[in-house]
Amino acid sequence: MRYELSAMFSSPTKSRYVSQFAARALATIVLGSAPLALAGDGFFLAIHDLPLMPGLTEVPGAGIVFDKPQGRIVEAYAEGAVAGDVVVAFYENTLPQLGWTEVSLPTGLTHWRREGEVLQVELLADRRPVRVRFYLTPN
């Protein structure tokens, strides 16, 4: 009886099942942790030094990233089930702590400046969930 059990566990069929199980387990671990990796630890993937407000999720593939000698041009989008005024308040409180200075323009729009860069934070109207456009350009 002992021989039959050991022969059963050392068969090529058993090895194939163990390999399939290991591959599925690895895929589950990798895919299960993917949302955590994409979250960027609270920052945008496209703009590494710009915090992503809790409740917002970066929209993958919706923006652009372009590096040029004068600086970077980045457009990123985030959306979530939060109120627009909460988003505005979050960035008005957070950006100055990161060295950004608020600049009001004659057009009534507000931009932020820091170290040769300009950041525009724009709520896209009449959208549920709320969608926010972040546009970073050289000064």
Tell me the one-letter amino acid at 7.
Answer: A
What confidence score (pLDDT) does residue 139 get?
Answer: 86
What confidence score (pLDDT) does residue 11 get?
Answer: 54
> What residues contact residue 64 under an 8 Å CB cut-off, 6+ apart?
73, 74, 75
Domain boundaries, the chain: 2-38, 41-138
What confidence score (pLDDT) does residue 108 get?
Answer: 62
Q: Is 127 strand, coil or helix? A: coil
What confidence score (pLDDT) does residue 118 get?
Answer: 95
Do 123 and 110 touch, CB atoms closer than 8 A? Answer: no
What confidence score (pLDDT) does residue 23 get?
Answer: 40
What confidence score (pLDDT) does residue 41 get?
Answer: 61
Let me know if 105 is exposed, middle or buried by CB neighbors in 10 A (0-12, 13-18, 19+): exposed
pLDDT tens-digit series, residues 111-126: 999 999 999 999 887 7
User: Token pair 């068969």 is at which residue?
Assistant: 11
What confidence score (pLDDT) does residue 90 get?
Answer: 95
Which segments of the chain have a pLDDT < 70? 1-41, 107-109, 127
What confidence score (pLDDT) does residue 29 get?
Answer: 37
